[in-house]
């Protein structure tokens, strides 16, 4: 059967077909990416894309909410359950918006925030110079120790005592170790600051009980829904009941109009999936895979920031290999191994051409890959690094990568064959 999309817009249809093929052919190692299940994909691409619902369940500014209220309430209750939180807001369009909503819920413009510096593994919205967050708020970033690659909680406490920020942000986008959210909570209490914990990267590990949850130690917890948590792309805020009103108001009407209900529907499904023994096994395997990949990369002489990993993510410092992160990421991409170049702590090189490469195991774990496949992947990465200027060798690695990839199921795997649709120009 020819799909409506194929009939109406063959150009977009063709491009989507190519992207599906790319996603199923490649070994995807970007730590913030994953594959959603068919059920999540169906829910996200549902008729809810047609609906406006400004406000919250029971208090909407548009009629016709007989079903939407039930769906959003389900998403809220599921989020509260799996994160053991007093309140959840599932409307943020993204993690960035969720973070900005958290600031505006508790802070005044000009207040000071203290988050991990972008080039040391923090997120843009944690007060980076490049982000609006540093224009609305004074930002005093903390760093990881450039030698150990780890957070130094004593130094963070000293910095907090010196600057007395109104909010301390825990959480990272390129930190391979478990973060002690309890200590962050204690530091925040000592200096009278709020504690926002951004668990976008490790939310799935937190739900599975592999990493300690920040929920008891933070005023607000923010997360995206699409990384280890394996939902569609959106943001979730969790908080104590005392901040519920402020958080809800900050999201709507503070920052957003109508919520994306098709996304919230997909999030609801993903949260149900996360509340299963299968999800816990998947999350455990993510970490096992990352550790094994890290061990093998170490054997090949790669320097890893902090010497390894406790989570889903590995940060390679390539300086001893004499290759820049960007060059290696591009060569790997040509071989069908998809990563991203990244700064390393204390990087002398700029973010546009940094010294590091960031890898993660959520997507390959979703496809069912385990430790033996991590050995193979490490070997392929090493081959590309050793042959960085040899296109023929990189093409050979590409064949091996495709062979490995073809042995593992992709949840939303369907490459729709092109039809001979001669009724479309």
Q: What residues line the site for ligand DSN (CB under 6 A)?
A: 32, 123, 173, 200
CB nearer ligand DSN, residue 200 or residue 269: 200
Whether 120 is catalytic: no
Q: Rounded to whole angstroms, how far apart are CA atoms 132 and 152?
A: 27
CB nearer ligand DSN, residue 157 or residue 198: 198
Contact 266, 297 (CB under 8 A): no
CB nearer ligand DSN, residue 200 or residue 378: 200
CB nearer ligand DSN, residue 68 or residue 139: 139
Q: Which of 52, 93, 153, 300 is catalytic?
A: 52
Q: At 418, list the tokens.
A: 């092109």
Other beta carbons within 10 angstroms of residue 167's beta carbon come to: 22
Q: Rounded to whole angstroms, how far apart are CA atoms 255 and 54?
A: 12
User: Rounded to the nearest whole angstrom, what is the least distance from the CB of residue 133 to ligand DSN in the complex?
Assistant: 13
Whether 224 is catalytic: yes
Whether 157 is catalytic: no
User: Rounded to the nearest whole angstrom, what is the least distance from the CB of residue 213 to ligand DSN in the complex?
Assistant: 20
Q: Which of 54, 145, 152, 333 is catalytic?
A: 54
Q: Which of 143, 198, 310, 347 is catalytic?
A: 198
Q: Which residue has the tokens 């802070």?
A: 107
User: Rounded to the nearest whole angstrom, what is the least distance from the CB of residue 125 to ligand DSN in the complex?
Assistant: 8
CB nearer ligand DSN, residue 124 or residue 416: 124
Q: Rounded to whole angstroms, how far apart are CA atoms 221 and 386?
A: 42
Q: Which of 125, 224, 339, 366 is catalytic?
A: 224
User: Rounded to the nearest whole angstrom, what is the least distance from the CB of residue 223 to ligand DSN in the complex?
Assistant: 10
Whether 319 is catalytic: no
Partners of 359 in the beta sheet? 314
> Would you say how long the chain is, in residues?
425
CB nearer ligand DSN, residue 259 or residue 362: 362
- Radius of gyration, alpha carbons of the chain: 22
CA nearest to 167, candidates 185, 193, 136, 191: 193
Distances (CA, A) of 133 to 110, 127, 138, 198: 10, 5, 8, 15
Whether 198 is catalytic: yes
CB nearer ligand DSN, residue 65 or residue 173: 173
Q: Which of 60, 81, 233, 284 is catalytic?
A: 233
User: Rounded to the nearest whole angstrom, what is the least distance from the CB of residue 123 to ligand DSN in the complex?
Assistant: 6
User: Rounded to the nearest whole angstrom, what is the least distance from the CB of residue 32 to ligand DSN in the complex?
Assistant: 3
Q: Rounded to whole angstroms, how far apart are CA atoms 404 and 367?
A: 11
CB nearer ligand DSN, residue 68 or residue 131: 131
User: Rounded to the nearest whole angstrom, what is the least distance from the CB of residue 95 to ligand DSN in the complex?
Assistant: 6
Q: Rounded to whole angstroms, how far apart are CA atoms 152 and 65?
A: 49
Whether 56 is catalytic: no
By the 10 Å C-beta count (0-12 exposed, 13-18 middle, 19+ buried), 128 is classed as buried
Q: Which residues contact 418 (CB under 8 A, 6 or more apart)?
A: 14, 17
Q: Rounded to whole angstroms, how far apart are CA atoms 101 and 223?
A: 12
User: Rounded to the nearest whole angstrom, what is the least distance from the CB of residue 234 to ligand DSN in the complex?
Assistant: 12
Q: Rounded to whole angstroms, how far apart are CA atoms 355 and 323?
A: 8
Catalytic positions are 52, 54, 198, 224, 227, 233
């Amino acid at each position: 059967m020819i799909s409506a999309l194929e009939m109406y817009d063959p150009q977009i249809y063709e491009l989507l077909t190519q992207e599906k093929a790319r996603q199923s052919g490649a070994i995807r190692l970007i730590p913030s990416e994953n594959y959603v299940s068919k059920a999540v994909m169906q829910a996200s691409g549902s008729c809810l894309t047609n609906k406006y619902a400004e406000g919250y369940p029971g208090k909407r500014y548009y009629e016709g909410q007989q079903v939407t209220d039930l769906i959003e309430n389900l998403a809220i209750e599921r989020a509260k359950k799996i994160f053991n939180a007093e309140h959840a807001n599932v409307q943020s369009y993204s993690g960035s918006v969720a973070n900005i909503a958290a600031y505006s819920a508790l802070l005044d413009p000009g207040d000071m925030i203290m988050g991990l510096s972008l080039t040391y593994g923090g997120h843009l919205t944690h007060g980076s110079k490049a982000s609006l967050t540093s224009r609305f708020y004074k930002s005093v970033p903390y760093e990881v120790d450039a030698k150990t690659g780890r957070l130094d909680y004593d130094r963070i406490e000293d910095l907090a005592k010196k600057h007395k920020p109104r909010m301390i942000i825990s959480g990272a986008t390129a930190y391979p170790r478990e973060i002690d959210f309890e200590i962050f909570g204690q530091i925040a209490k000592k200096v009278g600051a709020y504690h926002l914990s951004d668990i976008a990267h490790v939310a799935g590990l937190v739900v599975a009980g592999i990493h300690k949850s920040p929920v008891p130690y933070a005023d607000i917890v923010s997360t995206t829904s699409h990384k280890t948590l394996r939902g569609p792309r959106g943001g979730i805020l969790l908080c104590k009941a005392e901040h519920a009103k402020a958080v809800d108001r900050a999201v709507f009407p503070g920052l957003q109009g109508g919520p994306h209900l098709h996304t919230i529907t997909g999030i609801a499904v993903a949260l149900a999936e996360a509340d299963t023994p299968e999800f816990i096994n998947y999350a455990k395997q993510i970490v096992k895979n990352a550790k094994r990949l890290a061990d093998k990369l170490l054997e090949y002489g790669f320097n890893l920031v902090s010497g390894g990993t406790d989570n889903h993510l590995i940060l390679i410092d390539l300086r001893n290999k004499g290759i820049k992160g960007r060059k290696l990421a591009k060569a790997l991409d040509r071989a069908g191994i998809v990563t991203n170049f990244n700064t390393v702590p204390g990087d002398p090189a700029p973010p546009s051409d940094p010294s590091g490469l960031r890898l993660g195991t959520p997507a390959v774990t979703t496809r069912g890959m385990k430790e033996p496949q991590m050995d193979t992947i490490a070997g392929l990465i090493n081959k590309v690094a050793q042959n960085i200027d040899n296109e023929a060798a990189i093409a050979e690695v590409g064949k091996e990568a495709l062979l490995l990839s073809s042995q593992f199921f992709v949840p939303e795997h369907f490459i729709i064959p092109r039809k001979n649709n001669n009724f479309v120009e």
